[in-house]
Amino acid sequence: MKTARNTTAKTAVLEIFGKSKIALSHTEIYKQIEDVCDRVTVYRILDRLVNDDIVHKIVDLDGTVKYAKCHHHAQRVHIHNHAHFSCEKCLEITCLENVKPSYIMPHNYKVNNINFTLSGLCPNCLNSNI
Amino acid sequence: MKTARNTTAKTAVLEIFGKSKIALSHTEIYKQIEDVCDRVTVYRILDRLVNDDIVHKIVDLDGTVKYAKCHHHAQRVHIHNHAHFSCEKCLEITCLENVKPSYIMPHNYKVNNINFTLSGLCPNCLNSNI
DNA sequence: AACTAATTGCAACATTGTTGCGATATTATT
DNA sequence: AATAATATCGCAACAATGTTGCAATTAGTT
Ligand SMILES: [Zn+2]
Ligand SMILES: [Zn+2]
Ligand SMILES: [Zn+2]
Ligand SMILES: [Zn+2]
């Protein structure tokens, strides 16, 4: 049993997540705190935050990896089965916490987790497109 | 208008896709034909096959990129909106051509494409698990 | 203050994918 | 069959992203 520590770098990363409404990549996070710590440290902090269920990892349609803070509501059990929206124009990824797909699976598969990502135009880009 | 050519390398790649029931990564393909052509050639062939709608690109939950042959049925319009299954044990990715999710989106989003990937145990690994 | 273990920095490495360019091979044309 | 046009290839070099080992640092505890 290891006890997590509150380090300067970890605090900086959490502050960035607190300010952001969208999902962020390792590079985007690192650029904001390159004077605080090393690249590798950011990777390791993100790993730990994912393991501790404080942040979840999202893989975009093109393979880009991003991270977003989890919203734990009042639920005891915390599962990241919500959908994500990937804007083709501004490339932002947003959590769609309330969008949950329904589907019918063939037999003989055991589904443990799902990943549902939609792409297109986000509200911002849709409006500026008129 | 450029006319595609049938080269040795392209034929080799298509043969591999013909034999495989599951999606394949660039590396998996290249390993089978490294005496035929260069790594870069495999990348370029895959790009072209995707553009020509002969193969489709799949990004796994962990960011792994794979490719699978398209099944064009009798439909005129060809859209890759089917789901994929990613086995957590054998790591194989399978196309679930008939699984299509239904969902409700918030307003102000324009959805152009969806990516729906389920993970868990495939029929093979489920049986060998008993 | 001293101790313990989590965390960090750095360097080195691995994997995956891209680009430029001269050489080669395929296809259509004569 | 020879020629011409150009799609494709090989190679080398580069870029982006992520990982690992290990010694040094630092946070939390006693
Ligand atoms: Zn947008
Ligand atoms: Zn999310
Ligand atoms: Zn399996
Ligand atoms: Zn598929």
Tokens 């490294």 belong to which residue?
Answer: B34
Say yes or no to pLDDT of B74 above 80.
Answer: no
What are B's interface residues with A at a Cβ cutoff of 8 A? 59-63, 65, 83, 85, 88, 96, 98-106, 108-123, 126-127
User: Whole-angstrom Cα distance, residue B10 to residue A126?
Assistant: 40
**Which amino acid is located at A42 in the chain?**
V
Lowest mean pLDDT of A31-45, A66-80, B40-54, B58-72, name the range: A66-80
Q: At a CB cut-off of 8 Å and minimum separation 6, what does A51 contact?
A: none
Domain ranges of chain A: 8-127
- Asked if B63 CB < 7 A from strand D, the reply is yes
Q: Quick one: A113 exposed, middle or buried, by C-beta within 10 A (0-12, 13-18, 19+)?
A: middle
Say yes or no to pLDDT of B108 above 60.
Answer: yes
- Residue A79's pLDDT band (cuts 50, 70, 90): low
CB of B94 closer than 8 Å to CB of A111: no
Ligand nearest to the CA of A97: 2
Predicted local distance difference test score (pLDDT) of residue A75: 53
**Mean pLDDT across B43-61:** 95
Q: Which of A65, A100, A110 sits opposite B126 (nearest CB)?
A: A110
Chain centroid to CA A62: 15
**Mean pLDDT across B51-65:** 93
Say yes or no to pLDDT of A74 above 60.
Answer: no
User: Whole-angstrom Cα distance, residue A121 to residue B6?
Assistant: 38
Predicted local distance difference test score (pLDDT) of residue A130: 60
Q: Which one has a higher pLDDT value, B15 or B1?
A: B15
Nucleotide nearest to B59 (CA to C1'): C16
Predicted local distance difference test score (pLDDT) of residue A39: 97
Chain C bases near protein Cβ (<7 Å): 5-12, 15-20, 25-28
A46-73 pLDDT, tens digit per residue, is 999 999 999 999 999 989 999 999 876 5
- What would the two tokens of residue A118 be? 């939609």
8 Å CB contact of A116 and B116: yes
The nearest CA of chain B is from the CA of A52 a distance in Å of 18
Average pLDDT value for chain A: 91
Say yes or no to pLDDT of A111 above 60.
Answer: yes
Listed in order, strand segments (DSSP E) in chain A are: 24-25, 55-59, 65-69, 83-87, 93-96, 110-121
Predicted local distance difference test score (pLDDT) of residue A129: 64
Residue B66 parent element (H or E): strand B65-69
The vertex-B83 CA angle with B103 and B49, nearest 5°, equals: 130
Q: What are phi and psi of A115, to 5 degrees?
A: -130, 115
**Mean pLDDT across B1-11:** 93
Q: Does domain B8-127 have CATH number 1.10.10.10?
A: yes
